[in-house]
Amino acid sequence: MWQFFHKLGSPKWFYGIATRLMPWLLVAGVLLLLAGIVWGLAFAPKDYLQGNSYRIIFIHVPTAFLAQSVYIMMAVAAVVTLVWRMKLADVFVKAVAPVGLVLTFLALFTGAVWGKPTWGTWWIWDARLTSMLILLFLYGGVIALDRAINDEKSAARAVAVLVLVGVVNIPIIKYSVEWWNTLHQPATFKLTEKPSMPAEMWVPLLLAVLGLYLIFGWLACLRMQTEILVREQRTRWVKDLVMAGRF
């Protein structure tokens, strides 16, 4: 167990594992996502109220789901950075913050596209939209702070503090805007209850969510590998890797 923990801190070890893991993540992710989206877009039944326009849910929900859980993953990594000073944790935060930003933007964008036919407007100041918008700002702040500090170590720890402050604030933001104004439908998946839609709808949705998780895993590995190569460029193993032409 402890040995595993120590290895996890070693960029070289992670680089090797990631290289072996990535093809699997990508293939499984693309297959699941394709299956979910094709099933959802072409074969799932129409919604009796929203007709075909509801089908954007198969893109909207996975991105929104990921957007939030990426932030939570970043917060966990931030704790690890501050407490154990583990190199890989801050590589992770730095690598996935832009991915989180893009996912949040996609969730907002698809939400706007979905909002037009169902609510009759691109944007309203609704609780869920507003808190996702604030999440977008938080991601932006994290990236901006990271870029502004030149020293790698201080940047990592400063960003970790900011991510943690943000995570304290996320429930507060969520509830403050929820009590303030709401129109968005309640969450699609809850851990404790059965989904309120038929299986032909939620199974493809679940596949799409899982697929996007795996693709995110692949992307995170790829971006972390790049960051590791940059940071470890003076080490022996990176030189060997480059000389051998395998990277």
Partner 1 sequence: MTSNPVRVQPVNESIGVAAAMKAVFMRDIKVAFRQRQDLLNPLLFFVMVVTLFPLGVSPEVSFLRESGAGILWVAALLSVLLSLDHLFRHDFDDGTLEQLVLQPQPLFLLVLAKTLAHWMLTGLPLVILTPVLGVMVHQPGNSIGILCLTLLIGTPVLSLIGSIGAALTLGLRSAGVLLSLLIIPLYIPVLIFGTGTVAAASEGAPVGAYLALMGAFLVLALTLAPFASASALKISMSNS
Residues that bind partner 1 (CB under 8 A): 82, 134, 137-138, 140-141, 144-145, 148-149, 151, 154, 157-158, 161-162, 164-166, 168-169, 172-173, 176-177, 180
Query: Which residue number, 89 or 238, has a Cβ lying nearer to partner 1?
Result: 89
CB of 157 to partner 1, least distance (A): 5
Is the CB of 140 or the CB of 195 nearer to partner 1? 140
Q: Which residue number, 98 or 141, has a Cβ lying nearer to partner 1?
A: 141
CB of 242 to partner 1, least distance (A): 31
What single DSSP character describes residue 51? B
In single-letter form, the type of residue at position 113 comes to V
Nearer CB in complex with partner 1: 27/172:
172
Q: How far is the CB of 80 from partner 1 (least distance, A)?
A: 15
Which residues lie closer than 8 Å to 98 by C-beta, 6 or more apart? 139, 143
Distance CA 117, CA 152 (A): 47
Q: How far is the CB of 103 from partner 1 (least distance, A)?
A: 17
DSSP 84-145: H--HHHHHHHHHHHHHHHHHHHHHHHHHHHHHHHHHSSS----HHHHHHHHHHHHHHHHHHH
Count of CA atoms in the C-beta half-sphere (13 A) of 46: 6
